[in-house]
Amino acid sequence: MLIIIKNKETLICDDFIFKCCVGKNGFIKRKKEGDKKTPIGKFSLDNIYYRHDKKIKPISKLKSIKIRKTMGWCNDTKSERHYNKLINTKTIFKYEKLFRKDYKYDYLIPIKYNWKNTKLGSGSAIFIHLTRDYKPTAGCIGISEKDFLILIKLINKNTKIKIL
């Protein structure tokens, strides 16, 4: 299975075409932390993370992980060991908080960009997450909750995402 991000507003999976939003500054091959661009390439997907206090466990072939209050995604360019990885928020490192007050991370799937042989400053916390207004993201891909729940029923651990 392949997910294709065709342009700034179109995500294709199987026979489904979903509206989406991407990074505020478009696409780029050589992403940098904070550039608000979505990385170009073909990537694997991680597990589904979900807010168990707000949502039910999603139906998917991917493993589902409950988001806890102490979960964050390290975006600290000074931490070689933790950069672009899930961390405990009771740390000295900078991070993207996963347990948010808004809805955007009620469901999310990390995209395995800059995952193996992680390069500091080349971008972190690139997710497929929720949106309601389709406003541009900081580099992630946003889709509606209804479309997210359809998408996760179609994909599995071998699914790749191709961002053109």
Question: In this predicted model, what pLDDT tens digit does every residue of 38-82 receive, in sequence order?
Answer: 999 999 999 999 999 999 999 999 999 999 999 999 999 999 999
Position 26 scores a pLDDT of 96
- Give me the residue spans of the domains in the chain: 2-163
Position 11 scores a pLDDT of 98
Phi-psi region of 162 (alpha: psi -120 to 50; beta: other; left: phi over 0): beta
**Cβ(82)–Cβ(88) below 8 Å:** no
Half-sphere exposure of 18 (CA within 13 A, CB side): 28
- Position of tokens 């948010």? 100
Question: In this predicted model, what pLDDT tens digit does every residue of 104-163 receive, in sequence order?
Answer: 999 999 999 999 999 999 999 999 999 999 999 999 999 999 999 999 999 999 999 999
d(Cα 149, Cα 60) in Å, to the nearest integer? 9
Position 126 scores a pLDDT of 98
Position 16 scores a pLDDT of 97
Q: Which CATH class is domain 2-163?
A: mainly beta
Question: For the whole model, what pTM was predicted?
Answer: 0.96
d(Cα 84, Cα 134) in Å, to the nearest integer? 25
Helix (H, G, I), strand (E, B) or coil at 149: helix
Residue 114: what residue type? N
DSSP 111: B
Compute the radius of gyration of the chain from its Cα atoms: 15
pLDDT band at 97 (very low <50, low <70, confident <90, very high): very high
The continuous run of DSSP H or E covering 54 comes out as none
d(Cα 71, Cα 80) in Å, to the nearest integer? 18
> What is the distance of C-alpha 55 from the center of its chain?
18
pLDDT band at 29 (very low <50, low <70, confident <90, very high): very high
